[in-house]
Chain A
Amino acid sequence: MEKRVTFGRWTIGILFAVPQLLLIFTFFYWPAGQAVYWSLTLQQPWGGGNIWVGLDNFRSILSNADYWNSITASLVFAAISTGLAMVIALVLAALTDRQLAGSRLYRVVLIWPYGIAAPALAMAFRFILAPEAGFMAVVNKFWPGFWDPGLDGADAMASVIIAFSWKYVGYNFIFFLAAFQAIPRSLIEAAAMDGSGVIRRFRDIQFPLITPTIFFLLVINITESFQDSFGIVDIMTAGGPANATNLMVYKIYSDGFKGLDYSGAAAQSIILMLLIIALTIVQFRFIERRVHYR
């Protein structure tokens, strides 16, 4: 006998799927379709309909050095913040899994950052990393001019990366810890009996067995670093100084809603979407091969 639920008539199945399909259509395919349409037209700032311009919007964006600068900044941001958030979370989870002192505390405390809204978090980090007061002020006192995210593009990029990574460390930590704890204790013990030390066990046994989680988090972190960075950038640097932190997602907003270039912003969002799709495909094609699914 078939164990799963089946429907005698396909119409019933369709009816069950309709609410979900409606939601996806209304909130994803329709807006995405609209964005594609806008990107191919020129929206007049004071209304009066769209003029069809074909790929002109894309041509003008891609020939703009500012835009390439934004892409580079986004890729740098994605690579460093994903790497930082994942490595820190992995180390913390590995230590917690070994039941070292304080592991209970980590477990509770580390999920909190993910629950904080990006603007609130960015506000906090704006104060924490302020050059004129607090810890960084002390550092600046000893090395004058060492830290000033308001003037130095690299410092500003570091600030948003720190804030973003801090938020995602907690998120990644929970997944890593769950993955570590899903590894049967006896596997670690068997490896210990086989003469493998702590580091070697991590490399040979635990790491390969959590590769599905690493892969999942890699995809999620990179995708989110392109999208979820908006609130942090807006509050902390507003894209500055000198566009140093003008990430793609922030440039869409500032060009569209501040510069009133709706069509250009729509074209940028299409490019961002294609970039994320391309990156995800690359990850599935080339990295997933090294994942050991159990």
Chain B
Amino acid sequence: MASITIRGVKKNYAKTQVVHGVDLDFASGEFVVILGPSGCGKSTLLRMIAGLEEISDGTIAIDGMVVNKLEPRERGCAMVFQNYALYPHMSVAQNIGYSLKVAGVPAAERTQRIQAVARVLELEHLLDRKPMALSGGQRQRVAMGRAMIREPKVFLFDEPLSNLDAKLRVQMRSEIRKLHRRLNATSVFVTHDQVEAMTLADRLVVMNGGRVEQVGTPAEVYSRPASRFVATFVGAPAMNMLEGEVTLDGISLLGGSRKLNVSRTGLAVGAKVAVGIRPESVRMVAPGTPGALAATVDLIEELGAGRVIYVDLDGAPFSVVTSETVHPEPGSTIGLQFAEADLHFFSSETGGRLDVFKVSVPEPALQG
């Protein structure tokens, strides 16, 4: 068990900088998920912790000891790779036991520990097979076993589930979670899949363009996104964003066609803002309901348990998630309602969250 401290870490490749100064603290035994789109520097950050990439600037410390100059093997981390990276010429048992063999653990103890790990991962009947003869899920488990057997201080996962099919992914997700509860080692898990991130994380780190956008529990990140990027990246379907401008008595939306009554506090008239609302916070009502916003239905996606209704709001795309059994026809008009407490405000310039707004008019929040 170990804490990880990351201070001002940067990564340059030749002239391009891919990680721009990251500061993070991972507590001992914590399961941290780093979430971000491809190219955001999340894997690079993970590989710098592992020692597979050089750290251009800043420091990474594991258990208080700066590891910048240490070889991967000296850092006490184990890593599960995206493509599993199993040694194709070795059997499952040899794959799992390789690190022990390198460390010079006697054969008898090695066998015993391989057996123990195989039992946990239900790989006992596969120990003599070569990776070629395994299914994707089994390979994944062997890769986990190889990481587990060393009893590392830190587990690093580099998108380990992205090569699995959807069903297996859900299953492996809960297995990883269970495993973490058992071993209680500090785990850093990198993914671009927000469902994976939300379900696995004790704490979520959202990255974009080589910077950390937000750190928090999945619930915090979902309910109080720190930036416009986080708001639209976390949650599916993505949060609706309406561009607006601060006026004397509120916010004028969508180039002035709609208006939001709020008392401005601290923002200059004319400031550009983005107003966000999650599709699942929007209620669908009959058109013409007082205070409801009229919109035209574009497309309906059936999810089984509910449906996503994509509507057109004066040319801006907008989506609604509903579990009601109403089936509006595409092209028809519906009314939309939402509570002001569910609104999020972001600066159009910096993308940062604005909490200075107090919605003053209780109902209706929006005037159509």
Chain A positions within 8 Å of B, measured between CB atoms, are: 184, 186-187, 189-197, 200, 204-205, 208-209, 292, 294
Contact status B50-A194, CB under 8 Å:
no
B73 contacts A by Cβ under 8 Å: yes
B221 contacts A by Cβ under 8 Å: no
Contact status A193-B78, CB under 8 Å:
yes
Contact status B79-A190, CB under 8 Å:
yes
Considering the complex, give the chain B residue whose CB is closest to the CB of A190.
B85
A191 to B85, CA, bound (A): 9
Chain A nearest CB from B144 CB (Å) reads 13
A189 to B71, CA, bound (A): 11
Give every chain A residue within 8 A of B87 (Cβ-Cβ): 187, 190-191, 204-205
Q: Which of B97-105, B178-186, B280-288 is found at the contact surface with chain A?
A: B97-105
B146 contacts A by Cβ under 8 Å: yes
Considering the complex, give the chain A residue whose CB is closest to the CB of B98.
A194
Q: How many chain B residues touch A (Cβ–Cβ < 8 Å)?
A: 24
Chain A nearest CB from B4 CB (Å) reads 16
Given contacts A193-B50, A193-B79, contact A184 B85 (CB under 8 A): yes
Q: List 24 A-B contacts (CB under 8 A).
A: A184-B85, A186-B82, A186-B83, A187-B88, A189-B50, A189-B52, A189-B79, A190-B86, A191-B87, A191-B98, A192-B51, A192-B52, A192-B71, A193-B79, A194-B102, A194-B146, A195-B73, A195-B150, A197-B73, A200-B102, A208-B89, A209-B89, A294-B88, A294-B132
Contact status A194-B88, CB under 8 Å:
no
B77 contacts A by Cβ under 8 Å: yes
Q: From the candidates B50, B51, B89, name the one contacting A292 in the complex (CB within 8 A).
A: B89
Chain A nearest CB from B276 CB (Å) reads 39
Q: Known A-B contacts: A190-B146, A193-B50, A204-B98. Give 19 more (CB < 8 A).
A: A184-B83, A186-B81, A190-B79, A190-B81, A190-B85, A192-B72, A193-B77, A193-B79, A194-B73, A194-B98, A194-B102, A194-B150, A195-B72, A195-B150, A196-B73, A196-B99, A197-B73, A209-B88, A292-B88
Given contacts A186-B83, A200-B102, A204-B98, contact A192 B88 (CB under 8 A): no
Q: From the candidates B78, B85, B89, B146, name the one contacting A186 in the complex (CB within 8 A).
A: B85
Give every chain B residue within 8 A of A200 (Cβ-Cβ): 102
Chain B, residues 106-146, CB within 8 Å of chain A (1/0): the string is 00000000000000000000000000100000000000001
Give every chain B residue within 8 A of A292 (Cβ-Cβ): 88-89
Chain B nearest CB from A201 CB (Å) reads 9
Considering the complex, give the chain B residue whose CB is closest to the CB of A201.
B102
Contact status A192-B73, CB under 8 Å:
yes
Contact status A193-B73, CB under 8 Å:
yes
A73 to B51, CA, bound (A): 52
Give every chain B residue within 8 A of A195 (Cβ-Cβ): 72-73, 99, 102-103, 150
Chain A nearest CB from B191 CB (Å) reads 17
Give every chain A residue within 8 A of B73 (Cβ-Cβ): 192-197
Give every chain A residue within 8 A of B71 (Cβ-Cβ): 192, 197
Segment 247-298 of B: residues with Cβ below 8 Å from A: none
Give every chain B residue within 8 A of A294 (Cβ-Cβ): 88-89, 132
A41 to B146, CA, bound (A): 68
Chain A nearest CB from B104 CB (Å) reads 10
Chain B nearest CB from A158 CB (Å) reads 37
Give every chain A residue within 8 A of B81 (Cβ-Cβ): 186, 189-190
Give every chain A residue within 8 A of B85 (Cβ-Cβ): 184, 186-187, 189-190
A208 to B72, CA, bound (A): 23
Given contacts A186-B83, A187-B87, A190-B81, contact A196 B52 (CB under 8 A): no
Chain A nearest CB from B85 CB (Å) reads 4
A190 to B96, CA, bound (A): 11
Chain B nearest CB from A193 CB (Å) reads 5
A186 to B85, CA, bound (A): 6
Chain B nearest CB from A254 CB (Å) reads 47
Segment 58-77 of B: residues with Cβ below 8 Å from A: 71-73, 77
Chain B nearest CB from A194 CB (Å) reads 4
Chain B nearest CB from A181 CB (Å) reads 16
A186 to B87, CA, bound (A): 10
Chain A nearest CB from B271 CB (Å) reads 48
A192 to B78, CA, bound (A): 10
Give every chain A residue within 8 A of B89 (Cβ-Cβ): 208-209, 292, 294
Give every chain B residue within 8 A of A194 (Cβ-Cβ): 73, 98-99, 102, 146, 150
Chain A nearest CB from B75 CB (Å) reads 9
A184 to B86, CA, bound (A): 10
Give every chain B residue within 8 A of A187 (Cβ-Cβ): 85, 87-88
Closest 3 CB pairs of A and B: A195-B73, A194-B99, A186-B85
Most chain B CB within 10 A, of A187, A195, A204, is at A195
A188 to B103, CA, bound (A): 17
Considering the complex, give the chain B residue whose CB is closest to the CB of A188.
B85
A190 to B77, CA, bound (A): 11
A74 to B51, CA, bound (A): 50
A294 to B88, CA, bound (A): 7
Chain B nearest CB from A189 CB (Å) reads 5
A191 to B78, CA, bound (A): 11
Contact status B88-A196, CB under 8 Å:
no
A204 to B50, CA, bound (A): 21
Chain B, residues 194-208, CB within 8 Å of chain A (1/0): the string is 000000000000000
A194 to B51, CA, bound (A): 12
A292 to B182, CA, bound (A): 37
Chain B nearest CB from A240 CB (Å) reads 47
